[in-house]
Amino acid sequence: MLKITDHALVRFLDRSGAAEIEALRLTLAHSLERARLGAQRAGIVDYVIIADGLRYVVKDDALVTVLDADMVAGRRRPRR
């Protein structure tokens, strides 16, 4: 079976209209804004927000990845 990468899936959702990516982006940004403002006040630019069982990794004021609670940034989980 053909493997579908995460990148290809997101591009499909965006370009086919199957999901409103920009609306999702805005919703996510709004939900993380309180934590961003707190980090900004403290002068922190790289941080992790833990919410709802996920880890949101922020670098230079940009959300760069979202990890499961048991994942560590920079390391992949072993394949099963």
**pLDDT for 48-74, tens place per residue?**
999 989 999 999 989 999 999 777 665
Query: pLDDT tens digits, residue range 9-34?
Result: 999 998 999 989 989 999 999 999 99
How far is the C-alpha of 30 from the C-alpha of 12, rounded, in Å? 24
* pLDDT, position 76: 55
Contact (Cβ atoms closer than 8 angstroms) between residue 54 and residue 69: yes
B/e letters for 46-77, b = 16+ CB within 10 Å, e = fewer, are eeebeeeeebbbbeeeeeeeebeeeeeeeeee
Give the C-alpha separation, 52 to 63, whole Å: 16
